[in-house]
Amino acid sequence: MGWYHAMSWYGGLTPGFSFAGVRDSVGISLMARMNVRQMWAAKLAGRPMPAAVQLPPVAVDAISGRRSRLTAQITLPVRRPFTGTVLGIDPSLRGTGLALIEFRAGRPPVLLRCTTIRVAPKHSMAAALGEIHRGVTSFLESVDVRHVALEQTIYVQNVQTAQILGAARGAAIAAAALKDRPVFEYPPLRVKQAVVGAGRASKEQVARTVMALLGHGRVLAVDEADAAGVALCHAFTWQEY
């Protein structure tokens, strides 16, 4: 329900109602805007975000000047932080990155395990796809994985590259499907916005931010950092009420 309709319903305002000149005098209370770092802190600490929106106690009709008192308050549902284990996957035929991250309320995310499934060029495409499937299955069997997250393919150089990448993605997704794990996909822009706060961030910026969020001591390989990034994106943007 929009503000105008909500106010008309509660206060019986006429169709000529206007917000002009009302904002400073009626005391509209809205949820404060939070920057990315503040949202990280709230998510990692498991704190609920304030979501109450209170309608102004007094509204003024711009045409008649009649003042209407409103006592109703709309309370939006509070988004609960994601809890559970996410397997992030950065699929590639010769170097698929995997990152298993655990999320618990009140503490930072924990990187349980990560690896890069490397397949030498001398091996056939079929052999590489089999290695990807086995690697993903091994991670899914190691702990109770709640969700699987992958990065969407937005741009590829040519048709052959698209076919190869699609096959690698298919091997990973099939492994998750056979284990009855929900699979979620996110575009690269959204991953960067959720993790770094900037959609044009470089791979190096993403890797540094991922390691900072996870408190990881050693430098992650590029594919593993990308896999961890998409897992963090899933947990940070997951809508659950």
pLDDT tens-digit readout, 73-85:
666 677 788 999 9
CA 112 vs CA 27, 71, 154, 215, 237: distances in Å: 48, 50, 29, 12, 21
What is the structure's pLDDT at 239? 80
- List, edge to edge, every strand of the sheet that includes 147-151: 110-118, 95-103, 84-90, 147-151, 183-186
- Is pLDDT above 50 for 68? yes
226 is an active site residue: no
- Is pLDDT above 60 for 115? yes
Catalytic residue among 102, 131, 223, 224: 223
Q: What are phi and psi of 115, to 5 degrees?
A: -165, 165
Q: What is the pLDDT of residues 146-201, one digit of tens each?
A: 999 999 887 777 888 889 999 999 999 999 999 999 999 999 999 999 999 988 88
Q: How confident is the model at residue 86 (pLDDT cuts 50, 70, 90)?
A: very high
Structural contact between residues 82 and 146, judged by C-beta atoms closer than 8 angstroms: no
Domains of the chain listed by start with CATH number = 3-75 (no CATH), 84-237 (3.30.420.10)
CA dist 45 and 87 (Å) reads 21
223 is an active site residue: yes
Alpha helices in the chain (DSSP H): 3-11, 23-26, 36-45, 125-142, 159-178, 188-195, 203-214, 222-237
Catalytic residue among 90, 102, 224, 226: 90
Catalytic residue among 102, 131, 151, 226: 151
What is the structure's pLDDT at 80? 85
Read off the pTM.
0.69
Q: What is the pLDDT of residues 123-151, one digit of tens each?
A: 999 999 999 999 999 999 999 999 999 99
- Both structure tokens of 156: 């590829």
Q: How confident is the model at residue 23 (pLDDT cuts 50, 70, 90)?
A: very low
Nearest to 114 by CA among 238, 187, 222: 222
- 55-88 burial, b if ≥16 CB within 10 A, otherwise e? bbeebbbeeeeeebebeeeeeeeeeebbeebbbb
What is the structure's pLDDT at 56? 53
Q: How confident is the model at residue 52 (pLDDT cuts 50, 70, 90)?
A: very low
Q: Which of the 8 DSSP states describes residue 116?
A: E
